[in-house]
Amino acid sequence: MKKYIYLITLMLGLSFTGCSDLEEDARSQLEPNERPRNLESVETTIAGAYGHLSARAFMSRGLGLTVMLRSDMVDIGNPTTNAERIEHDQFTLSTSNPLILNQSNPERSFWPRLYQVVRSANETLRELEVLEEQDAGVKEEIAGRARFIRGFAYFHLVRLFGDVPYLDETTLVVDASVAPRTPVDEVYANIIADFQFAKETLMDSRMNRALPGKAAASAFLASVYLTRGDYESAYNEATDVINNAGTYNLALEEDYRNIFHAVNTDASLEPIFVIDFVGTNVGDESRDYLAAFTGFFGQQTYYASGGWSVMVPAQAVFDTWDDGDYRKEVNFDDEAVADNMGTVIPFTQFSTLDGRNANRPHISKYTAMAGDLPLANTSGRDSHSNYQMMRYAEVLLIAAEAAAELGLTGEADQYINMVRNRARNGNGTNSPSAVPANISGATVDDVLEERRLELAFEQKRWYDIVRRRMGDKVFGPDGFETEFQGTENFDPNRDYLLPIPPLEITNNPNLSQNPGY
């Protein structure tokens, strides 16, 4: 009988010398039918897969910094911040960038962390194979959660790195350690199969949107199809979610601010899949770091201490956003409370609070969200924030983009205007704004612009730039970041993908580096 031996970390032969917390679990040396398994133990395993999403290596810090700084919406504020961040912002990325793989603390980097998600999902599926005396429907639902999160992890990996080793529940460690890079098309085929299985087996709706239901699987399927340029499938999948919004308990939130409110968001029907932070500092994990990275030193607008002025929008992003659009108010801090006397200063004076602050409007989505709760920690890191991985407005815009590609202009208009109508209504207490006005004859470019505004600073923009190959345009002379150093370094033959960590290539002779690195 085969021995299903799996590494807890990368499953690619990576050696973590001295990292005792990442050593292999001896229980995984046993045959599947020799391990004590019951429903409770399987639930613990799948919970571990989802638990990785709130780690600092993922969207809270490592990957969140990477995809936001590489976009055209955000630039470095504090010039003294770590070089690993500046490299992404200025497209001077070294192959050993520690945000991708930190050899000293691999659990704090996103390449191994994403493979840990895969490992936990695969372990769950193997455990289910030997779980006896359990209702088939229960096992299928757990398998749906496992395959959803595996598809979710690989959807990030394939967009970030291109061809990546694909490992499933049948992969043995002897094979994983020398696994070659699986072609992109094959990786995507497996991602689609995982999301399709999840859609078939998961429940329609969940109160806790940190766990996926059918809507999450369907919405991510639509996003995958859109990324692949399969616009008919993207349209069908997105409109299936829209047509079943009542069944899935989905709707646009009336007040855009509530989506990014630490308390009110829990009652909203707009979130489809979220990362739910617990606001607890255990080994510096599971903390809301985006509040710190997007806030700024010395401000007391939301809580007694500010952030670090690391990820700051380019001035042109703020200046070109229509003042009548309520989303601008929610997304930016263009003034700050400077002291406990309530003194308010404009963004042009932010550096008077601390010389490391950039004198530009800062992102408020995360700092305001952290400020909705009493905090025991500085800089907003111990908040109970939810990061939106997928929400109903994005599904509407996926449908709009696919419709525009298919020549269904009227439907593209309809879905964009649903999103704009919410923005015009503000928080619902005042007369509706005149902007953003309804659109007629929407083009693909119109949809991409609406995505940029509606999903601003939600880790979507870089992936849009990559899938639409917009780098030359957005980092060119007409882009937002022309005032900053670094955009001239963008190389379309290199920078749409990240480098494979050199240590992985050293340990696995079947891996090769991406072009240009």
Chain mean pLDDT for the chain? 90
Q: Is 392-469 a domain of CATH 1.10.287.3240?
A: no
Q: pLDDT tens digit string along 398-437?
A: 999 999 999 999 999 999 999 999 999 999 988 999 999 9
- Burial code of 128-140, b = ≥16 C-beta within 10 A, e = fewer? beebeeeeeeebe
Q: pLDDT tens digit string along 292-343?
A: 999 999 988 988 878 999 999 999 999 999 999 999 999 999 999 998 888 9
Q: Supply the pLDDT for residue 1.
A: 31
Q: Supply the pLDDT for residue 278.
A: 77
State the Cα–Cα distance between residues 274 and 211, nearest whole angstrom.
Answer: 8
Contacts of 17 (CB under 8 A, 6+ apart): none
Q: Is 20-202+499-507 a domain of CATH 1.25.40.390?
A: yes
Q: What is the mean pLDDT of residues 143-166?
A: 98
Confidence of residue 272 (pLDDT cuts 50, 70, 90): very high
Confidence of residue 277 (pLDDT cuts 50, 70, 90): confident
**pLDDT tops 60 at residue 18:** no
State the Cα–Cα distance between residues 18 and 117, nearest whole angstrom.
Answer: 22
CA angle 226, 198, 278 (to 5 degrees): 90
Domain residue spans of the chain: 20-202+499-507, 292-384, 392-469
CA distances from 481 to 205, 314, 317 (A): 41, 6, 9
Q: pLDDT tens digit string along 183-233?
A: 999 999 999 999 999 999 999 999 999 999 999 999 999 999 999 999 999
Q: pLDDT tens digit string along 61-114?
A: 999 999 999 999 999 999 999 999 999 999 999 999 999 999 999 999 999 999
**pLDDT tops 70 at residue 34:** no
Answer whether 20-202+499-507 and 392-469 agree in fold.
Answer: yes
Highest mean pLDDT among 131-135, 462-466, 481-485: 462-466
Q: Supply the pLDDT for residue 36.
A: 56
Q: Out of 196-210, 237-251, 356-370, 371-385, which region has the weakest mean confidence (pLDDT)?
A: 371-385
List the one residue out of 11, 195, 15, 4 whose CA is nearest residue 115. 11
CB 513 within 8 A of CB 94: no
State the Cα–Cα distance between residues 277 and 387, nearest whole angstrom.
Answer: 8
Strands 311-313 and 271-276, bridge-based pairing? unpaired
CB 357 within 8 A of CB 338: no
Tokens representing 243 are 């047509």
Q: Supply the pLDDT for residue 306.
A: 85
Q: Out of 117-121, 136-140, 387-391, which region has the weakest mean confidence (pLDDT)?
A: 136-140
- In percent, how much of the chain has pLDDT > 70? 92
User: How remote is the C-alpha of 164 from its chain's centroid?
Assistant: 19
**Where is pLDDT greater, at 485 or 23?**
485
Contacts of 16 (CB under 8 A, 6+ apart): 9, 22, 23, 106
